[in-house]
Amino acid sequence: MKRNLSIAIAAIFVLSTWSCSKNTPVDSDGLLITTRRECSVSSFELLGTDFVSVRVGAAVIDTVAQTVKCTVQFGTDLRNLYPQFSLAQDCKLDPKITGLTDFSDLAHPRQWTVISGDRQIKKTYTVTLTVQPR
């Protein structure tokens, strides 16, 4: 009886230890680090303060040159825009987009770095805006 009890306790201890071990690493943001090596932007959106798109046509994304070119409507408030990126699976963006973003310095386009799922590949994309003429 005593022997069975000891075996049971030992089994529970081993099982619980094993289930708590980390086989799935996460990064500093708590995101899963996977084996995926894709590293690209698949689509780009730009919203105004009214959460309505300010784009004129689709953004042109060049994954080789690592550029996003987007024409925005005449009269767009370039200091207060919400950019939205769609990335390849498991990628993340740096710096993070936390709110309204200032694009008003058209001579110095904003840049974001896409980081692959395995966190080994980094590609910096330059987002260039053009304002539609009146």
Partner 1 sequence: MRNIVIAIAGLALFAASCKKSDYALPTPSTKLQNQAIKRTLGPNIVGQVIEFAYAGAILKGKLTSFQADANIAGAAGTYMEYRSFYTASTGADVGVPVGNPSVTKATNTTVTFSVDTNAATLRYYYVIPEEARGKTVTITFTAKSNDGESISTVMGPYTIAKMDMKLNMKLTDGNAMYISIGDTAVYNATDAAAHAGSVDLVYLYRNLTTSAFNHALVSPAADPVYLPGVTLPTGVNRSTKELKAFNLQDHNLAPTEQYGGIFIDDIDFQTIDLSNSPNYAINLKADAGVWCQTADGKYKAYIFFNSVGAGTATVSMKRYKLN
Judge whether 50 and 56 are in contact, CB under 8 Å.
no
Q: Which listed residue (49, 86, 89, 124) binds partner 1 by CB under 8 A?
A: 49
The DSSP letter of residue 90 is T
* Amino acid, single-letter form, for residue 134: R
User: Is 18 a binder of partner 1 (CB under 8 A)?
Assistant: no
Judge whether 38 and 98 are in contact, CB under 8 Å.
no
Q: How many residues bind to partner 1 according to rule CB under 8 A? A: 14
Least distance (Å) between residue 9 CB and partner 1? 23
Pick between residue 39 and residue 129 the one whose CB is nearest to partner 1. 129
Reference 88, options 63, 69, 120, 55; nearest CA is 63
Q: Which listed residue (79, 86, 105, 122) binds partner 1 by CB under 8 A?
A: 79
Beta bridge partners of 102: none
What residues make contact with partner 1 under the rule CB under 8 A?
Answer: 48-52, 73-75, 77, 79-80, 132-134
